[in-house]
């Protein structure tokens, strides 16, 4: 009996040994080290910041453009409202510079936006791959007290620390994520979060019998597990977590990504790192809702000298640019002060300007300081443009009528001059007269010949005829300012001048338009015409 019990006991022990020998040791089922999986999550958190960073930088550039647009429109509207005065030059310079700064912003956006979009794509793609892998592992062993992510204190489940480490679901609005760069996660060389002590073998050997995820499949068609081996090039997270050794997943060292790298995983990491650095290099724009600060930035910009020269060249077409540029320092100080200390006064005047066209009734005035929307400022600009356009059109029509009247009057005077000549020889000698033998009136055979006058390039004016000398005759015959103004000698104080010298006068009344046409509008000319009096003739 004792012998039978002893034999049975030996058989049980032998069977147990055989079962143990045939069953994989559960002690090899290791979770991931906290130092290693948390390093992966830290990298995820940093990579995801690119969305918020890119959004912030692009929005700042759009905001700066908007501020410059408001400043530009206000300056132009101030110039429109003061076109009858001399203080429109400075606002026009500010508006010109604002436009140049806007153009620079747009040019920069065309370069920066593709970089930002590329960074968002690459960094979030890599972050998603890592995040998905870690989250999948975290829930792979939840029965019988199993876990695959060890905690900072080995032997306990570390899953509760996922979110604080950086691995979680992406929020609905990723642009609101923290965007402050963490140089301990990513630096100029690579992904510093996963290098050295946080790279390499990821298994926590101090904690056993907890995670069977990384068990190899002897035969994938008939047994459970993962196919470990060199052919498993992707592993997890594009291969950043390699699965080539059973029960021992390893993390690629990502600390150096600027030089040559080997393998698919590191190549993808290098692309993401390069895109991240390009995004970080993009400068955001400082914004301020203060118009004074905007005008200060414009006056202190690298464009200011060019803007002054451009505006003055338009206003003074007779002055060459070399002369204008030689006096830029003095001119700038005159307009803006030695250290731009006149900007405060300039801004105050612009903000106090009353403009039309922003209210429901276009004729109602409103201070520019009260107009804060671009649409309202543009509405006012459109109103002024329409008014000035229609006014200028009517003045052009008036000029045409004046020119036609002057021409008719000159022809009549020339005809009178010809009719007073009796001798045929004297008549034919005149460059604008022809002797007509068949004329009905015997004493008026010498007649005005317009074709002859044109052929001889004779501009027919009263001063070229033999008629009575009028105030207009006395004025138009002078070729210099001194003799022109002598015609006014002897006049009493307050009397209308007989003659007035006009620099660079044209051949007709249209010189009044050309004289005052400036950078932004021909409206300067409109007001100049309102002051024109036919009793004062140009020389």
Q: Nearest CA to 269 among 251, 286, 248?
A: 251
pLDDT at 298 (0 to 100):
95
pLDDT (tens digit per residue) in 331-356? 999 999 999 999 999 999 999 999 88
- Please check the confidence at residue 136 and state whether its pLDDT lies above 90: yes
**Residues counted in the chain:** 539
pLDDT (tens digit per residue) in 42-86? 999 999 999 999 999 999 999 999 999 999 999 999 988 887 666
What band does 392 get if pLDDT is binned at 50, 70 and 90? Answer: confident
Q: Nearest CA to 247 among 225, 277, 269, 279?
A: 225
Q: Which residues of 336-355 are buried (b: 16+ CB within 10 A; e: fewer)?
A: beeebebbeebbeebbebeb
**DSSP state at residue 252:** P
In order of 390, 457, 458, the CA distances from 431 in angstroms are 42, 9, 7
What six digits make up the tokens of 230? Answer: 């060199």
pLDDT at 84 (0 to 100):
66
Q: Nearest CA to 505 among 471, 479, 528?
A: 479
* Local structure of 182: helix, strand or coil: coil
Domains and CATH numbers, the chain: 18-167+190-281 (3.90.150.10), 291-353 (no CATH), 374-538 (no CATH)
What band does 361 get if pLDDT is binned at 50, 70 and 90? Answer: confident
Question: What percentage of the chain carries pLDDT values higher than 90?
Answer: 51
128/132 Cα distance (integer angstroms): 6
């Amino acid at each position: 009996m004792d012998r039978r019990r002893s034999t049975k006991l030996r058989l049980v022990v032998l069977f147990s040994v055989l079962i143990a020998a045939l069953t994989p040791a559960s002690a090899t089922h290791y979770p991931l080290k906290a130092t290693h999986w948390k390093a992966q999550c830290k990298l995820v958190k940093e990579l995801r910041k690119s969305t918020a960073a890119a959004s912030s930088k692009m929005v700042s550039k759009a905001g700066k453009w908007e501020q410059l647009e408001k400043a530009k429109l206000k300056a132009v509207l101030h110039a429109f409202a003061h076109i009858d005065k001399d203080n429109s030059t400075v606002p026009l310079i500010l508006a010109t510079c604002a436009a140049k700064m806007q153009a620079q912003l747009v040019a920069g956006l065309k370069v920066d936006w593709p970089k930002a979009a590329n960074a968002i794509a690459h960094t979030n793609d890599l972050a998603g791959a890592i995040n998905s892998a870690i989250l999948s592992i975290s829930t792979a062993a939840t029965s019988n007290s199993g876990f695959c992510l060890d905690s900072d204190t080995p032997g306990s489940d570390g899953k509760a620390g996922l979110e604080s480490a950086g691995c979680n679901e992406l929020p609905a609005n990723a642009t609101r994520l923290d965007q402050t760069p963490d140089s301990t996660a990513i630096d100029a060389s690579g992904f510093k979060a996963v290098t050295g002590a946080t790279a390499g073998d990821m298994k926590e050997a101090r904690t056993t019998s907890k995670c069977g995820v990384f068990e190899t499949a002897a035969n994938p068609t008939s047994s459970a597990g993962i196919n470990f081996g060199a052919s498993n090039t992707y592993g997890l997270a594009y291969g950043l977590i390699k699965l080539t050794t059973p029960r021992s997943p390893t993390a690629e060292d990502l600390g150096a990504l600027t030089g040559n790298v080997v393998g698919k995983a590191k190549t993808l990491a290098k692309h993401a790192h390069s895109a991240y650095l390009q995004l970080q290099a993009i400068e955001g724009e400082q914004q301020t809702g203060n118009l004074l600060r905007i005008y200060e930035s414009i006056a202190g910009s690298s464009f200011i000298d060019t803007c002054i020269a451009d505006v003055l060249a338009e206003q003074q077409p007779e002055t060459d640019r070399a002369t204008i540029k030689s006096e830029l320092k003095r001119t700038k100080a005159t307009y803006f002060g030695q250290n731009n200390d006149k900007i405060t006064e300039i801004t105050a005047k612009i903000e106090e300007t009353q403009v039309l066209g922003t209210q429901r009734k276009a004729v109602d005035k409103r201070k520019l300081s009260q107009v804060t929307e671009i649409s309202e400022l543009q509405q006012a600009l459109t109103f002024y443009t329409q008014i000035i356009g229609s006014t200028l059109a009517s003045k052009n029509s008036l000029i045409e009528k004046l020119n036609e009247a002057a021409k008719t009057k000159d022809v009549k005077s020339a005809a009178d001059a010809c009719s007073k000549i009796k001798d045929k020889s004297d008549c034919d000698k005149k460059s604008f007269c022809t002797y007509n033998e068949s004329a009905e009136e015997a004493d008026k055979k010498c007649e005005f010949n317009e074709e002859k006058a044109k052929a001889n390039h004779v501009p027919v004016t009263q001063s070229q005829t033999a008629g009575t000398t009028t105030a207009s005759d006395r004025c138009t015959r002078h070729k210099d300012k001194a003799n022109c103004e002598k015609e006014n000698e002897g006049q009493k104080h307050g009397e209308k001048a007989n003659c007035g010298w006009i620099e660079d006068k044209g051949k007709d009344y249209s010189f009044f338009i050309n004289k005052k046409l400036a950078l932004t509008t021909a409206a300067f000319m409109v007001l100049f015409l309102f002051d024109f009096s036919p009793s004062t003739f140009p020389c």
